[in-house]
Amino acid sequence: MASMNGPNSQVNSTTGGGSSSTSSQMNNSSAGGSSGGNQAQQPQAPNVILTRKCLQDLVKQVDPNEQLDEDVEDLLLGYADEFFEQIIEGACAVAAHRKASAVEVRDLQTYLERSSNIWVPGFGSDETKAYKRAPVTEAHKQRMALIKKQLKKY
């Protein structure tokens, strides 16, 4: 689906219409013609980013004695696939908004930071992200004062 090698790499994508197609899907369509022969097309396995083995290795890093049930592995793999697909679609939308024909690392960063408040260190600028604390409203201060007053009674 998408491969990235290093912080300045680009990922080719289709940014129109909200869906993308991979080059392997386009190469599978047969045009007939003079290629001759009856070549049987083999169904291609879907592009998997997180495999069972990789998930098991991650679990072993956290707790060497932990063993996941097969149903739990399936559920986690499904969540991971949905998450990656959502990120890729969002990054494509950011690239389309920039009117670019390729998805760049900054598109992924922008989408992750804005949608999930996730910052991946090591890519892009090395500046330290300052934590932005939400301003406390007057209504919140009044509610907190009321709660503290109620707690003092007991």
Task: Of 35-39, 71-75, 148-152, give the lowest mean pLDDT range.
Answer: 35-39
Mention every residue, 6+ apart, whose C-beta is less than 8 A from residue 151. Answer: none
In a domain, 137, yes or no: no
pLDDT band at 135 (very low <50, low <70, confident <90, very high): confident
Please report whether residue 27 resides in a domain. no
Average pLDDT, the chain: 74
Residue 29 in any domain: the answer is no
Cα 22 from Cα 27, distance rounded (Å): 9
- Lookup result for tokens 């986690």: 76
Identify the pLDDT of residue 134. Answer: 77
The answer as to whether 107 is a domain residue is yes
Return the minimum-mean-pLDDT range out of 42-56, 75-89, 98-112: 42-56
Token digits of residue 22: 């991979």
Is residue 131 assigned to a domain?
no
Q: How confident is the model at residue 24 (pLDDT cuts 50, 70, 90)?
A: very low
Position 52 scores a pLDDT of 92
pLDDT of residue 79: 94
Give the residue, 108 or 32, on which the prediction is more confident: 108
Residue 83 is assigned to a structural domain of this protein: yes
CATH number of the domain within which 70 lies: 1.10.20.10
Find the domain containing 96 and state its range.
Answer: 10-15+47-124
pLDDT at 20: 38
- CA distance linking residue 78 with residue 83, whole number of Å: 9
pTM of the predicted structure, to 2 decimals = 0.51
Q: How many domains does one find in the chain? A: 1
